[in-house]
Amino acid sequence: MYLDHFVLQNYRNLKEIDTQFDPNINIFIGKNAQGKTNLLESIYFLALTRSHRTNSDRELIAFNQEYANLWGKIHKSQLDLDLRVLITKKGKKVWINRVEQSKLSTYVGQLNAILFSPEDLDLIKGAPALRRRFMDQEFGQISQEYLFYASKYRQVLLQRNTYLKRLAKGETKDYIFLDVLSDQLAGIAAEVISRRFEFLKFLSSAASDAYDHISLAGEKLTIAYHPSISGIKSDDSREEIYEKLRANFQKTKDNEIRKATTLSGPHRDDIEFKLDGKNAHLFASQGQQRSIALSVKLAEIQLVHHLTDEYPILLLDDVMSELDHDRQSALLDYIHGKTQTFITTTDLEGISWEIIKQPKIYHIQSGEISLKKEN
């Protein structure tokens, strides 16, 4: 799939854009604070109806404006789509082919976008919460079921935690209702965990291939899922996972009442990146971590393709110049001809132009983009 015609109004410092993107490579060159990340963020928002930088949609509306508007024409192999998002201070609305969608979940996933920015390095060395957010965000855009169960899980978890607090305070003594909530939570958790296993299994193998491609050292990259409840294994069926979760909630409930919170489940699980079996968080160099993060992004492209038969678009924010020549060319070689790619950079010097074939090049200054005539 690719984003063909794109129209934007009042998105952060970008006032007005109306342009036809290249199906292959689009490059945006600009100094700091001109709107490069804002532009990629707006495309990401058109795809996912959320920003990778903030949870507050209001921030995205240009100062002193009432709304931000995004519109894109998407080409897929079978059909063309017209997507629109309107962000107002009261909330957001979305349209597919000019028909307003009452649920975001029917909209998300129509356009798939993978974004890679320097902050993605935190995926390997950052806190577990970042890796869970990564799973929820990325698996949510490829699977409506995952999106549904992950949000349902948050809802019931909150309910159970609230109830645990009431039990802890002695406001109620109805332990039967706790069991009801525990069973319900276990059922939804099993749906979330089994899908995480399934998607990570694919990601691990695709990331391993990508790592082979972009790293020259030849270590083997693997990704493992670590459930917070011991005894759950990747080849367990959904029912087995459910039974183990139920048994666990039974076992830990006294402790959970004392602590007034749910101590284990998908909200406490983690993933681990390993090079030759060793934890990359602890042992990988900065360069290796960069290659791992990039490999994971490339693996996501394969995952989207595997599940939807379409390649997502790729947004590379300020990362090209961080990669050396060999990695840049391995990357472009890997995505060549498959993935519409948007690249931002401050620095022309850092990019190996000879390996980028006929890109569309824009300059971006004070939130305005202009086409560069000749390369």
Ligand X SMILES: Nc1ncnc2c1ncn2[C@@H]1O[C@H](COP(=O)(O)OP(=O)(O)O)[C@@H](O)[C@H]1O
Q: Would you tell me which residues interact with ligand X (CB under 6 A)?
A: 12-13, 30, 32-38, 59, 61-63
CA 275 – CA 270 distance, rounded (Å): 17
Q: Segment contacting Mg ion (CB under 5 A): 32-40, 139-147, 295-303, 319-327?
A: 32-40
The site partner of 140 among Mg ion, ligand X, none (C-beta below 5 to 8 Å per kind) is: none
Q: What, of ligand X, Mg ion, none, does residue 64 touch, CB below 5 to 8 Å by kind?
A: none
For residue 354, the partner it binds in Mg ion, ligand X, none, with Cβ less than 5 to 8 A by kind, is none
Q: Which of 131, 132, 109, 133 has its CA nearest to residue 121?
A: 131
Which of Mg ion, ligand X, none does 35 bind, CB closer than 5 to 8 A by kind?
Answer: ligand X
**Which does residue 33 touch among Mg ion, ligand X, none (CB within 5 to 8 A, set by kind)?**
ligand X
Q: At 270, is the secondary structure helix, strand, or coil?
A: strand
DSSP state of 192: H
Q: Of 35 and 187, which CB lies nearer to ligand X in the complex structure?
A: 35
- Closest approach of ligand X to the CB of residue 327, in Å: 22
Residues 36, 13: Cα–Cα separation, whole Å: 10
Tell me: does residue 38 bind Mg ion (CB under 5 A).
no
| C-beta separation of 12 from 71 below 8 A | no
Report the residue number, 36 or 267, with the smaller CB distance to Mg ion: 36
Buried b (16+ CB within 10 A) or exposed e, 59-98: ebbbeeeebbbbbbbbbeeeeeeebbbbbeeeebbbebee
Under a CB-based contact definition with an 8 Å cutoff, are residues 224 and 204 in contact? yes
Task: Kindly state the smallest distance separating residue 13's Cβ from ligand X, in Å.
Answer: 4
- Give the N- to C-terminal CA distance of the chain in Å, as an integer: 26
37 binds Mg ion (CB under 5 A): yes
Partner whose footprint covers residue 30, from Mg ion, ligand X, none (CB < 5 to 8 Å by kind): ligand X
Nearer to ligand X, 12 or 92 (CB): 12
If the CB atoms of residues 39 and 150 are measured against ligand X, the closer one turns out to be 39
d(CA 361, CA 29): 8
d(Cα 80, Cα 248) in Å, to the nearest integer?
A: 48
Q: Which two tokens stand for residue 364?
A: 């971006």
Rounded Cα–Cα distance for residues 306 and 136 (Å): 18
- With binding defined as CB under 5 A, does residue 34 bind Mg ion? no
Q: Which does 27 bind (CB under 5 to 8 A by kind): Mg ion, ligand X, none?
A: none
Q: Which is nearer to ligand X, 117 or 302 (CB)?
A: 117
Stretch that binds Mg ion, among 34-42, 189-197, 224-232, 264-272 (CB under 5 A): 34-42
Report the interface residues with Mg ion, using CB under 5 A. Answer: 36-37
